[in-house]
């Protein structure tokens, strides 16, 4: 321990403290509550993909440092996936980079592309690592708040345009959006693309929920819009799509110049990761369309189960068009403070949720919203709904 008065944690990170997920997961354990807080599935992904990982491990593929950009089999599979899904072509050697999950992709991209003093415009509420990584890069975050409108959260395009200044370096976009479940529309994405081109901005787009879109919503990759292919770093991940969040296999696709810049930062973070899992994810990306359709149908049924149950329990529900989260408004229950509500919920109903305010700079804008994850077994969701209905008894 140092005896100086200077705090140990540096100024860039001091505001971030411990994540709410740690506090809430501990609370879930202590009270025997159902944990709908953190977004990880409670069943593992496809057996054949697990077997592919075992095979790679046994055959000695990936047990030593894999190549810095990722194993060629996986880079090729990622390029094929982008081509098959979106008609976007990437050179597996120069335009694909494998990372330790999307989390490292976000960190490396921001550390590589942001100069101290640069402004980064991001959609608020945001995934918790964005703010911390912008801070580590020395950037200034400029939130543009998604506003509740007609049972979903929408982007105000005028607000977005107004947020861009001469100091703006890049836009950090997330669609499908965690925690709101918003999927940006073709019109919204067109406007974002036009703004990026007009103001000559780089764009980082976090699309880890690309395969989790419901009803008539469609995931459109931002890189596919005019003028975007050359200025966009697109981020994907196997964690959410294949239900292997512990494997930490993510990737970026972009131009050779942007990939090379991001790799400069990435090589000094993890250098490489997840050797045998990279081979398994290469096989997962080549699963037939039926896997992706079944996965989506399964999550859709779970969304409807939880969203319906929350509505019956008295919450206002923002039915998500994508992701595996549902955001609710607790005001119809006579509550207004999501933090207090979530801290009391385990004792009151035996369920853990996350106050959306943790994803906001403008805490008051997020105060009445609470997020529940539905990537859980049907019986678990049914029990959670039963418990939540006891709130209004």
Ligand X SMILES: *Cc1c(COP(=O)(O)O)cnc(C)c1O
* Contact predicate 146/365, CB 8 Å: no
Task: Mark the segment that binds ligand X (CB under 6 A) among 11-19, 54-62, 137-145, 243-251.
Answer: 243-251
Q: Does 210 bind ligand X (CB under 6 A)?
A: no
Task: Mark the segment that binds ligand X (CB under 6 A) among 15-23, 30-38, 180-188, 239-247.
Answer: 239-247
Q: How far is the CB of 242 from ligand X (least distance, A)?
A: 11
Q: How far is the CB of 209 from ligand X (least distance, A)?
A: 7
- Euclidean distance between CA atoms 340 and 349, whole angstroms: 14
Q: Which residues pair with 165 in a beta bridge?
A: none
Q: How far is the CB of 103 from ligand X (least distance, A)?
A: 3
Nearer to ligand X, 292 or 383 (CB): 292
Interacting residues with ligand X between 177 and 196 (CB under 6 A): 178
Interacting residues with ligand X between 108 and 167 (CB under 6 A): 127
> Which tokens go with 34?
């159902």
> Which tokens go with 341?
């509500």
Q: Which helix (H) or strand (E) holds 252?
A: strand 249-253
Task: Mark the segment that binds ligand X (CB under 6 A) among 86-94, 95-103, 258-266, 298-306.
Answer: 95-103
Q: Which helix (H) or strand (E) holds 253?
A: strand 249-253
Among 237, 254, 274, 328, contact with ligand X (rule: CB under 6 A)? 237
Nearer to ligand X, 356 or 387 (CB): 356
> Which tokens go with 104?
């490292």
Q: Does 207 bind ligand X (CB under 6 A)?
A: no
- Euclidean distance between CA atoms 147 and 305, whole angstroms: 25
Query: Helix, strand or coil for residue 390?
Result: coil
Q: How far is the CB of 390 from ligand X (least distance, A)?
A: 30
Nearer to ligand X, 182 or 255 (CB): 182
- Euclidean distance between CA atoms 181 and 105, whole angstroms: 21
Q: How far is the CB of 123 from ligand X (least distance, A)?
A: 10
Q: How far is the CB of 207 from ligand X (least distance, A)?
A: 9
Q: How far is the CB of 32 from ligand X (least distance, A)?
A: 26
Q: Does 107 bind ligand X (CB under 6 A)?
A: no
> Which tokens go with 384?
């959670």
Nearer to ligand X, 162 or 269 (CB): 269
- Euclidean distance between CA atoms 170 and 111, whole angstroms: 12
Task: Mark the segment that binds ligand X (CB under 6 A) among 77-85, 242-250, 256-264, 379-387.
Answer: 242-250
Q: How far is the CB of 389 from ligand X (least distance, A)?
A: 28
Instruction: Identify the residue whose tokens are 């994850």.
Output: 373
340: Cβ contacts below 8 Å, ≥ 6 apart: none
Q: How far is the CB of 314 from ligand X (least distance, A)?
A: 27
Among 192, 193, 208, 342, contact with ligand X (rule: CB under 6 A)? 208
* Contact predicate 388/313, CB 8 Å: yes
Q: What is the 3-state secondary structure (H, E, C) of 71-88?
A: CHHHHHHHHHHHHHHHCC
Closest by Cα among 309, 315, 313 to 332: 315
Angle, helices 72-86/275-285, rounded to nearest 10 degrees: 30
Nearer to ligand X, 33 or 274 (CB): 274
Footprint on this chain of ligand X (rule: CB under 6 A): 101-103, 127, 174, 178, 206, 208, 237, 239-240, 245, 248, 250
């Amino acid at each position: 321990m140092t005896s100086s008065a200077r705090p140990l944690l540096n100024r860039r990170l001091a505001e971030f403290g411990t994540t709410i997920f740690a506090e809430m997961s501990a609370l879930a354990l202590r009270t025997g509550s159902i944990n709908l807080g953190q977004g990880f599935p409670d069943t593992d992904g496809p057996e054949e993909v697990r077997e592919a990982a075992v095979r790679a491990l046994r055959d000695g593929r990936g047990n030593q440092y894999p190549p810095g950009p990722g194993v060629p089999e996986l880079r090729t599979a990622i390029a094929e996936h982008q081509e098959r899904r979106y008609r976007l072509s990437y050179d597996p050697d120069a335009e694909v980079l494998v990372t330790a999950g999307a989390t490292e992709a976000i960190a490396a991209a921001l550390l590589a592309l942001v100069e101290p003093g640069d402004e980064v415009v991001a959609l608020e509420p945001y995934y918790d690592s964005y703010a911390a990584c912008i801070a580590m890069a020395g950037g200034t975050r400029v939130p543009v708040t998604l506003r509740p409108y007609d049972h979903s959260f929408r982007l105000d395009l005028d607000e977005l345009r107004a947020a861009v200044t001469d100091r703006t370096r890049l836009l950090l976009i997330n669609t499908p959006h965690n925690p709101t479940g918003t999927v940006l529309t073709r019109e919204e994405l067109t406007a974002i693309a036009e703004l990026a081109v007009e103001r000559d901005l780089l764009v980082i787009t976090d699309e880890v929920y690309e395969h989790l879109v419901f009803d008539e919503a469609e995931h459109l990759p931002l890189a596919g819009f005019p003028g975007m292919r050359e200025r966009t770093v697109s981020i994907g991940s196997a964690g959410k799509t294949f239900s292997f969040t512990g494997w930490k296999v993510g990737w970026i696709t972009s131009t050779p110049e942007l990939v090379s810049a991001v790799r400069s930062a990435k090589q000094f973070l993890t250098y490489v990761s997840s050797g045998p899992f990279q081979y398994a994810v290469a096989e997962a990306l080549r699963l037939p369309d039926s896997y992706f359709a079944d996965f989506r149908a399964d999550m859709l049924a779970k969304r409807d189960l939880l969203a319906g149950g929350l509505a019956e329990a008295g919450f206002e529900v923002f039915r998500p068009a994508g992701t595996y989260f549902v955001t609710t408004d607790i005001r119809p229950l006579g509550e207004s403070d999501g933090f207090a509500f979530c801290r009391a919920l385990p004792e009151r109903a035996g369920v853990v949720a996350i106050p959306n305010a943790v994803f906001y700079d403008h805490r008051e804008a997020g105060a009445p919203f609470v997020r529940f994850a539905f990537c859980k077994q049907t019986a678990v969701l049914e029990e959670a709904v039963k418990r939540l209905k006891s709130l209004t008894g």
